Structure 1
C-alpha cells in the first residue's frame, strides 16, 4: 500500500469544481441566464461554461489524473503538470466569463478577455491532454474503459479547437469569412463534441471501471461492450467530422446530426445493458450509497433519452433543448459526478491517511469514513430537484425552476458537507482516527509520496 501513487492535486481539482458548481447553481437561483434570458444570451453562455468547464471538466480532469494510471497500470506521465494546468484553466474560465459579460455590457474594459481566455484554456487543456495522452500512449493495448477515455480526450481536443475559434471570433481577432461561417453554424457540433464526446463518453468509460471496482463486479470486455464503443465512436465521428464537413458543403447539417444521434442511441442502449449487468453480477451484495446514487444518475440519462425521442417525434426539440441539456448536465453527468465523489474522496483519503500503517496499526475501513444514512437524504433532494427543474423548464415555469435550482443547491451543499467530513476524518471513531504513523490529510492536496 505504501507504493500506491496518489495524484497530488486531484483534491484541488475537486474543490475548484465543486466551488464552480455551487456558483453556477446560485446564479440560477438568482435568475441569471436561461430561462430568464434567451438561450443564446451572453449571460446564459457564461453560465453554461461555468458548468461545463468549471464544474464538469475540472471534475473529470481531477478524476482522470488519479484513475487513468489505474486504467492503464502505468504511472501518470507527470505529477507536476496538473497544478499549472489547473491555474491556467481557472484563469481561462474567469477570462471567458468576463468576455461574455463584456458582450452583455455588464462590464466595460478594454482588455481582450476572449483572447486571454483562448490562450489560457488552450494552455491548461493542452497540459491535461499531453499528460494523460502520454500516460495512455505508454500503456500499449488499452482496456475498453481506457479506450472510452482516449476517445473522450480526442473529443476534448476538438472542443478546444472549436472553442478557440469561437472565442477569437467573438474577440474580433478572426474575421475570415469561412471561419465566421463555422462560428455561426458550428454550435451544434461544439455541443455534440463537448457534451456527447468529452463529458459523456469519458464518464461512460470511467463508470465502467469505477462501478466494477467498487461493487466487486467483473470487468466487461464482451462483444456488446465493444460494439457499444464502436457505435459511440461512429456517432462522434459523424457528429464532429461529418458536421464540420456539412457546414462547408450542401449536405444538411440536421441530417448528419440525426444519423449521429441514431448511432449514439444504440451506443447508450448497450451501455445501459452493461450497467444493469454490472449491478446483477456484483460480488458485493450490499450496494453502497455511491453505487445506488449512480443508478439515479443513469436513470436520469434514460429519462433524457426518452425525452429526446419524444421531442423529436413532436417536433419540439429546438424549443425544449435547454430542458434536455439541463437534465443531461445536472441529472446524468453532475449526478454521476456527485455519486462517485462520495466514494472517491473517502477512498483516496483512506489510502493517504492509513495506507502507510496498514498491517501495523488498527485502522478503519473505507466505509467508516462516511455516514451513508445521514448523506442519503441530500442525494434524494438533489435528484428530485433536478427532475422537477427539468419539468419546470419543459412547462416554461421560470419561477418554479428557480425554486428547484435552490433545492438542488441545498442538496449539493449537503453532499459537499459530508465530503468535507470524510476528508477531515470527522466520522471516524476517535480511537481509530489517527494512529501513530498516520496524519490528517489536507483538504486541497495529498501528502502521500508519489512517483515523480
Structure 2
C-alpha cells in the first residue's frame, strides 16, 4: 500500500539527496569494514581508522538516511509541511562537507580538524533537529507517535552536544577527565535516545500502513514511551555515578519497553488485512525482538565480569542488528514509494504506469537478510573471542549482503534518471 500523496510534501531532491548519500555511505562502509578487519580482529576499536569507520556508519549511513526519510515522512505521518525547506536543502551540502571532513580528521586523528568539522556537523544536526521540532509544533496529530519523534530529536541535540564536548576534551585539559563519561553519554543518547525513539515512533504509522492493519490496540504505546524514557535516564545515571545496579535497572526497563513494543507489533500483525506480510516488514519485527535480546544483555553484562569487548560487541549488535536492520527494511518500502511518486504519481489515471510493486521484487531481499544476518552473527561471536578468521568471514558476508542491498536500491533509483530529477527541484509527485 502506498502512503497518500500530499501537497505538503517537500521537494523530491530534499529526501532523495540524503537517502542517496546514505546508500553511497553504505558502500563505503562495506568496503572499509573489510579493509579494517585486521584491526577489528585485534580488538583495536579505539584505533583512528576504526573510529572513523564507526562514524562512517552512524553519520554517513544511518543519520543521512534517517534525515531523508524523516523529511519525506513528516508530511505523511503528521499532515504538516516542513518549515524552512530551503534551509534544509542548504543544510545538506554543509552536512556532507562536514561528514567528509570529520571522517578524514578521525582517520588521520587531526585534532584541529576534529574540532572544525565536528562543529560543522554539530551545527547541521542542530539545524535539522530544530526544523523538525519547529515543524511538529503545528501538527494536530497527538499521542505516542508525536511524543516519540519529538523526544528523538531532543535526544539528538543532547547526543550531538555530548559528542562536541568529547571532541573538545582532546584540546581542553579541564574536559579530559570526563572523556569516558562523555563517550558513554553520547552513545546512550544517540543509540538509545535518537535512533530507538525515532524508529519506534514512525513504526506506529508505517507498520499499520504497510500491513493494512485496523482495530489494533494503541493503549500500550504510552507505557512503551514511559519505560524507554526511564530506561534512558537510568543508563545515563549509571554512566555518571558508575553504578552497575543502575545499568541493570536501565536494561530491565528498556527490555520491558521493547517487550511492550513487540506485543503491539504482534497485535498489528494479527489485525492486518493483507494476507501476506512482506519480508521487509518481518525484518522490522525481527529487529524489535533483537532489541529485547540486546536490552537483556545490558542488564546482565555488569555482573558477568565481561570487559570492554562485551560492550563494544553489544553496541555493534544494536547499531547493525537493530537500527540498520530497521532502516534497511523500511528502505525497501520508502525508496520505491518516493521514486514511484516522483516519476509516475502525476500520471495516475492518465497513462498506463507500473505498479509500485513492479519497481522491486521484495522476495529478492531474502538474500540480503540471509547474508547480513549470518555475517553479523559470525562477526559478533568472532569479535568477542578475537578470532581473526571468523571476523574476516563475518565482515565479508555482512558486506556482501549490504552491497546487494545497495544494488537493489540503485536499481529502484535508476541512476540514469536521478541527476535530472534532483536538479528539477519540484515537489514530489506534483507538477512544478
Q: After TM superposition, is the score higher than 0.5?
A: yes
Q: Which residue matches 2:182? A: 186
The 8 Å contact of residues 85 and 124 in structure 1, kept in 2 or not, is answered as yes
The CA deviation at 1:14 is 1.2
Q: Is the 8 A contact 2:231 2:249 kept in 1?
A: yes
Q: Is the 8 A contact 2:216 2:271 kept in 1?
A: no
Match of 2:66 in 1: 60
Q: Residue 352 of structure 1 corresponds to which residue in structure 2?
A: 342
Name the structure 2 match of 1:17.
22
Aligned-residue offset at 1:45: 1.8
Q: Which residue of 2 aligns with 1:3?
A: 7
The answer to whether the Cα contact below 8 Å between 2:255 and 2:292 also exists between their aligned partners in 1 is no
RMSD: 2.7
Q: Label 1:164 to 1:267 Cα distance change in 2 as closer, same or farther (>3 A).
A: same
1:139 maps to: 139
| Contact 1:24-1:51 within 8 A present in 2 as well | yes
Give me the whole-angstrom Cα distance separating, in 1, the residues matched to 2:94 and 2:374. Answer: 35
Gap runs ≥5 in structure 1? 104-108, 427-438
> Residue 11 of structure 1 contacts residue 445 of structure 1 at CA under 8 Å; is this kept in 2?
no
Q: 1:385: which partner in 2?
A: 375
Q: What is aligned with 2:394?
A: 404
Q: Which 5+ residue runs of structure 2 have no aligned equivalent?
A: none
Alignment of 1:319-398 (within 5 A): 319-398=309-388
Please give the secondary structure, in 2, of the residue aligned with 1:337. helix
1:93-118 per-residue CA deviation (whole Å, 9 max, x = no partner) reads: 22322332333xxxxx7x82022123
2:253 to 254, 260, 263: 263
Name the CA shift for 1:275/1:312 in 2 (closer, same or farther; >3 Å). farther
* Equivalent of 2:203 in 203, 207, 210: 207
Change (3 A) 1:19 1:325: same
Q: How many residues align?
A: 424
Superimposed CA distance per residue, residues 213-248 of structure 1 (whole angstroms, 9 cap, x where no aligned partner): 1111238663321111111122223334x35xx73x
For residues 339-365 of structure 1, the C-alpha deviation after alignment (integer angstroms, 9 at most, x for no partner) is 111111111111112211112222222
The answer to whether residue 107 in structure 2 is matched with residue 101 in structure 1 is yes
Cα offset, 1:165, TM superposition: 0.8
Cα distance, 1:445–1:397 mapped onto 2, change above 3 Å: farther
Relative to structure 1, is the Cα distance of residues 338 and 2 closer, same or farther in structure 2, using a 3 angstrom cutoff?
Answer: closer
Structure 1 length-normalised TM: 0.85
Structure 1 residue 388, shift from structure 2 partner = 2.0
Pick one of 268, 274, 278 that aligns with 1:284.
274
Alpha-carbon distance change, 132 to 4 in structure 1, aligned in 2, over 3 angstroms: closer
Instruction: Quote the residue 2:128 is aligned against.
Output: 128
Structure-2 change in CA distance of 1:303 and 1:237 (3 Å)? closer
Partner Cα separation in structure 1 for residue 424 and residue 335 of structure 2: 11
Aligned partner of residue 419 in structure 1, secondary structure: helix
Q: Could you tell me how far apart the structure 2 residues matched to 1:364 and 1:425 are?
A: 18
SS of the residue corresponding to residue 178 of structure 2 reads helix
* Residue 290 of structure 1, CA deviation: 2.0
Residue 302 (structure 1) shift: 3.7
> Secondary structure, in 3 states, of the residue corresponding to 2:177?
helix
Is the partner of 1:58 in helix, strand or coil? helix
Partner residue of 1:167?
A: 167
Secondary structure of 2:338's counterpart equals: helix
Normalising by structure 2, report the TM-score.
0.89
Q: Hey, what's the Cα distance between the residues in 1 that align with 2:41 and 2:273? A: 45
After superposition, what is the alpha-carbon deviation per residue over 1:369-391, rounded to whole angstroms, capped at 9, x for unaligned? Answer: 11223342233222221122222
Instruction: Quote the offset at 1:443 in angstroms.
Output: 7.0
